[in-house]
């Protein structure tokens, strides 16, 4: 049993086609989607997205924030960024972690602190996906 999956980043269509399962990070934790899932809309947080295409290995990607919409066996994932492990520059991701940690230590506004937290979460997820 499959559903139609559309993964769209701000700069490209990442994947479009049939899918058996999807696991995606949200504020409430990891959410799993399978065929005939109930309709919903949720916010996505930076982390690790996993999806299974029929007849292929499970794919793992690092993602930024976005939105998930499930409606009538059609799943739309809108993201600000998505990267496969081979697209991630590990050294650059490590530098981003260091920068985000430094930003969080600075005495700045609450908004700037939350932005630094989001940058840190994205950089850490990139490193985790790269290590798979």
pLDDT tens digits along 63-105: 999 999 999 999 999 999 999 988 888 888 888 888 888 888 8
Same domain (yes/no): 71, 107: no
3-state helix, strand and coil shares in percent for the chain, rounded to the nearest 5: 30, 45, 25
Please state the domain count of the chain: 2
Same domain (yes/no): 61, 37: yes
Q: What is the pLDDT of residue 99?
A: 86
Same domain (yes/no): 73, 113: no
Q: Residues 6 or more apart from 63 whose CB is under 8 A from it?
A: 24, 25, 44, 46, 47, 48, 49, 79, 81, 82, 83, 125
CA nearest to 43, candidates 60, 62, 65: 65
Same domain (yes/no): 8, 41: yes
Q: Residues 6 or more apart from 29 whose CB is under 8 A from it?
A: none
Q: What is the pLDDT of residue 107?
A: 67
Given a cut of 80, whether residue 121 has pLDDT beyond it is yes
Q: Is the dihedral of CA 56, 58, 63, 67 positive or negative?
A: positive
Same domain (yes/no): 53, 10: yes
Mean pLDDT value of segment 104-109: 78
Mean pLDDT value of segment 4-16: 96
Domain span at residue 41 reads 3-83
Cβ–Cβ under 8 Å, residues 2 and 18:
yes
Same domain (yes/no): 33, 48: yes
- Give 14-60 pLDDT, tens digit per residue: 999 999 999 999 989 999 999 999 999 999 999 999 999 999 999 99
Q: Which residue has the tokens 């899918």?
A: 19
pTM over the 0.85 mark: no
């Amino acid at each position: 049993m499959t559903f139609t999956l559309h993964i769209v980043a701000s700069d490209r269509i990442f994947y479009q086609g049939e899918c058996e399962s999807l696991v995606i990070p949200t504020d409430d934790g990891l959410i799993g989607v399978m065929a005939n899932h109930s309709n919903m809309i949720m916010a996505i947080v930076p982390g690790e997205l996993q999806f299974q295409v029929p007849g292929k290995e499970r794919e793992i990607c690092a993602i930024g924030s976005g939105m998930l919409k499930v409606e009538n066996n059609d799943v739309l994932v809108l993201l600000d960024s998505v990267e496969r492990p081979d697209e991630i520059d590990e050294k650059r991701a490590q530098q981003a972690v260091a920068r985000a940690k430094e930003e969080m230590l600075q005495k700045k506004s609450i908004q700037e602190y939350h932005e630094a937290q989001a940058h840190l979460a994205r950089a850490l997820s990139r490193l985790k996906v790269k290590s798979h």
